[in-house]
Amino acid sequence: MDQTCKHLAWLEFVHARVERHIICNQRLQTLANHLPDKDSKYPSIALLLGHDTKNKVLRDLLPKGSLKKQQANATSLNLRPDTQSSKSPYPIYYADLDPTEHTCSLELGNKTGCHVQQHFQVSWVPESQQNLLDVVISRLLFLFTDVICLFADDLGGLETTRIFLTNWTLLAIGSHIGPPLRPRVLVVQRDSGNPMQTLERDLFLSDLTRDVDINRVFASVKVVTLPQKYQTSQRRRLSFILELANSLDSARGDRMAASMLFAATHQAALFRRALVNVTRTAATPFNFIQAARQGNEVRSDLVEHTENVLRVSQKLPTGVVVLMIASSAILDAYPKGMHGFDPKLLFRTLYKSLYRSALCRVSTSTPDDVSNEIQERFCALRAEMVNNGTSSADIHLSTLRSLQPSWSLLKSNQTCLVCLVQSPEHVLSCGHALCENCIKRFGCEVSLRSGLHSSYEIRECPVCGKRERFLVRLKPPTAGFRILSIDGGGLRGIVPLETLSLLQQLAQSDCPIQELFDLAYGTSIGGIIVLGLFVKKMTVEQLLYFFRSFAHTLFGARRSKDDSSLLPRALKSLLTSNSMYDTGLFEQTLISQFGPNRQLFDYEGPTASGTKVAVTAVKVSETSTPTRIFTNYNGSRRRQSESGYRFERPFRADQEPYVWQVARATSAAPIYFRAIKIPSLGIYRDGGVSHHNNPINIALWESRYIWPSVIRPDVVLSLGTGYEETSQSPLVKTPKISFPWSFSFSVKDTPLHCLISSFKGELDGQRTWREFMNHRPEHEKPDYFRLTLELPGPEPAIDDYDSIEVLSSAVRLQPSGPETRRGVLMALLISSLFFELQEMPSYGDGMYYCHGSVRCRSSGALKSLLKLHPLGNLELFKDGNSLGVFLSEQDICGTCRRYRKPVHFFVKDLDDEINLCVKWDIDQTRKISAMPRRVSWFVDRQGLDMPFGSATDPGVIYEECGGCAPSEQKLPTWTPGPLRTKRKRSYEVMDVEPHKKRSKR
């Protein structure tokens, strides 16, 4: 907000045509921001209702002359701070409104520009302006007001005041869910000198209590008399001020006893959410606890996770399980920043029914008793948390340590055994798996000298206490994601391997190609490639060597100089062992490469890449939904039951398939190799035989379950294994079907022709890609790349060993190959850049000032990008306008080796979309990660407007770097000036440090 703003209006009422609106000017938030140490200030609000007498009393309550300096609105609800109490733990605000004033504005729009305005349309139909005022007063203001002062002479006398109170009482009943919030009422009346005034006062109180149950809404109703000549009677004035102060103290005590005394930031946030509620419906009660969890709701799959925990812990004592569930609920219920709601009420509101459902599912004989026991433990842990002044994370870690002898015996691949509310994503060396939130919560960010962003280190397993150093790279919250998808195709897998090798040569050694992808999918040989690259962590060259050795062992050694003997041998193998090739040798080759006991969802070693990996397979026994995916991840959301494929995960962690088994399953091509039986799961064949030889569709579908907040990927790279470009010319030759033993025959116009053509269509990854791209909007298509090889003749058979070198050379000699690969690598490297806000955008002069940084996931990616453009002409643009700076290695911090370029700019609204791009070569542009996005998306992803904290952003311990910490940057101090009507302004500002001359290479 502009520091020069003198407006006092808190709420304004607008009647535009047939619609009614309420404008909120964020006065509560503004006053909270001006308080020193606002998170430990607990304001009280006194609501003064009237006009002339009210204004006279306000002059006494506020510093002398302050009413003249500030701009109040007679038709609005105004809010003023008591500046004398601002340094007190309990500052006082005075709100004032004339409930008899029915005049309202007829126009919408922010006419000031010096403070934030939010417009809320009233969805229900008020009977009149008075009815709208009555609802706002009784169902909104009463929830946050401690004392209500009604100036009877301003309102028309005691009888009119009684009518107001009666109507408000009837409307306020049931206005919220939770402990009673009953403000105190002071009815202020001038002393008329008439002896009958006392009798009138008694009749007023008697009639008031007779008409309605006034005690359900108000803690007390008291009539206070002012002298007739109010301004000349200092003693009586002080008497009223003292009465008001005492009433505020009593109301504060009531709120404190009910655990409903809110800090300034919480009060402002809850008021905004209550205003939204009252404009949507005049009848729905406001739930403070649910409102505080807005944007941080209890997970919808809590019942399923609790059920998993109950099943894996059936052999443990009930008391251990109850304590662990209660402790996990504390961790979820009271993140850093959460208001201290009454634990019993909070537990009943958020958790009790969910836990009871889970208990009923596992046939617990006494679900009510157990859920009550969990509630008791929950309340006890909350009391311990308050008494010791510790965080919920500390309480939960203490619980975990106390239960280690028994809890450490458990392992789960479906539920994180630390928080019990999310699926695990990373397995430690001890075998316990943690979700990514717990990685952040109980780990620390590693930055020093690493050059990596969003890397976290676990130094001790929270479940068993085992000491270790486990490093995980996570996707930054404001970054998008990149997908790699590799087709199946047997020995034609040399095509994507050579393509990756050429991309790696372009990127050079600074940036391993694996660092440029967040999700990698493969089918058949494509599955083996992604397992080798991202699970085994082989380099591309190592994988190429393995591929050639693998091909020679399985296929090359079978060939003899006399090919005429191949057909009988192949037929014999097919008839005697149900496969043309030695399945046992195939398995031994895979075991020697991936290890006999390494599971796919398993410990990756001291460093985990963070890349999500999956391969496709077909379950032989299934007919309706045969396609399966094996993954090294779980995802953050439940998958739809009719998604067209199934996520394969055994219930027990020790039944997870081995990597070699998964590699066998995805490449068990019919005829060539036998299907594989994986214990506890089933029998599987090659994933390419069920429409997904090119797994790009499943990869995109799965991304929505992994990163639901990111709608579309930054870059998709699909690698094919070569295809035959068919012609529509009538001169085309009759198709020949080439078998692996080099025997061929014409099948034109035969049923076999139709069958084989149909089967080949199912395996046609190029056709899948074309159909996939037909469903992409035009503006998204530049983000999707397909690298494959157009073959001059029929596709080689998937076991054609002799074709390997020919295909390898063809990939390297493609005329358009170098330029195409360069474009793909540019897109991938630029998608490593992402933007994040440094702080909550501030408002003034009609604009939001946004201060943030362009960062890079790894300094290696930036170095590779700059080597592709040695002239240093990579310039940053925002919404088509130059920011005046260029990407440079000089912005890599010398201490932590991470890249950070400060940025600041202006937007008119937080919902405005921004698009940060890199431009080069005059007309070449490429957006950085996650762009374009609304500014509000960054606010949400970074939790900058989460006054109650979030379980998904649990307060990471950062190892701050003094070299590039925000506090060390010499940023300009921005203070919004008064609003000007004629002014030219640049909304894009960059290069906040002294300009660094770019080096010419």
pLDDT digits (tens, 9 = 90+) for 422-467: 999 999 999 999 999 999 999 888 865 667 888 899 999 999 999 9
- What proportion of the chain, given as a percentage, has pLDDT over 90? 63
**Across 95-99, 360-364, 611-615, 960-964, least confident range:** 960-964
Between 226 and 475, where is the model more confident? Answer: 475
Position 118 confidence tier, pLDDT thresholds 50, 70, 90: confident
Looking at the domain that runs over 9-289, which CATH code has it been given? 3.40.50.300
Q: What is the dihedral of CA 666, 471, 892, 482, to 10 degrees?
A: 20
Q: Which residue has the higher pLDDT, 753 or 579?
A: 579
Is it true that 9-289 and 482-825 share their CATH fold? no
Distance of CA 299 to the CA centre of its chain: 13
* Token pair for 914: 């921004």
For residue 465, what pLDDT is reported? 94
Number of C-beta neighbours around residue 509 at 10 A: 11
Query: What is residue 786's predicted lDDT score, i.e. its pLDDT?
Result: 97
Q: Quick one: pLDDT at residue 794?
A: 86
- Output the six-digit token pair for 850: 């946004």
- Report the chain's mean pLDDT, rounded to a whole number: 86
Measuring CA to CA, how many Å separate 637 from each of 297, 299, 421, 423?
14, 9, 12, 9
State both tokens at 253: 């005590």
169-181 mean pLDDT: 91
Question: 482 pairs with which residues across the strands?
Answer: 715
Does 936 score more than 90 pLDDT? Answer: yes
pLDDT of residue 629: 96
| Average pLDDT of the residues in 347-372 | 92
pTM above 0.75, yes or no: yes
Measured between alpha carbons, how far is residue 488 from residues 455, 668, 691, 762 in Å?
33, 11, 11, 11
The string of pLDDT tens digits covering residues 697-740 is 999 999 999 999 898 999 999 999 999 876 443 333 333 333 33
Angle ∠(34,38,42) on CA atoms, nearest 5: 115
Q: Over the stretch 555-602, which tens digit does the pLDDT of each residue have?
A: 886 654 445 444 455 555 555 556 788 899 999 999 999 999 999 999
Give the lowest-confidence range in 317-326, 511-520, 622-631: 622-631
* Confidence check: pLDDT of 394 > 90: yes
For 337-493, where are the alpha helices, taking DSSP H only? 343-350, 352-361, 367-388, 392-402, 404-407, 436-442
Listed in sequence order, the residues at least 6 apart from 947 whose beta carbon sits closer than 8 Å to its beta carbon are 265, 266, 268, 269, 337
**Catalytic residue at 524?**
yes
Strand partners, 426: 434
Q: Which of 146, 686, 764, 800 is catalytic?
A: 686
Contact 978, 4 (CB under 8 A): yes
pLDDT in tens, 63-94: 776 665 566 666 789 999 998 898 999 999 99
Q: Which of 524, 609, 667, 803 is catalytic?
A: 524
Rounded-to-integer distance, Cα 216 and Cα 238, Å: 30
Domains of the chain, residue spans? 9-289, 302-473, 482-825, 832-989
Q: What is the pLDDT confidence band of residue 933, given thresholds at 50, 70 and 90?
A: very high
Q: Which CATH superfamily does the domain covering 482-825 fall into?
A: Cytosolic phospholipase A2 catalytic domain (3.40.1090.10)
123 as an active site residue: the answer is: no
- ∠ CA 184-180-274 to the nearest 5 degrees? 90
What confidence category does residue 746 fall into, taking pLDDT thresholds of 50, 70 and 90? very low
What tokens does 728 get?
Answer: 């529509």
Average pLDDT (8-35) is: 88
The H or E element that residue 220 is part of is strand 220-226
Residue 853 parent element (H or E): strand 847-856
DSSP secondary structure letters along 815-838: TTHHHHHHHHHHHHHHTTEEEEES
Q: How many CB atoms are located within 10 Å of the residue 769 CB?
A: 21
3-state secondary structure 910-928: CCCEECEEEEECCCEEEEC
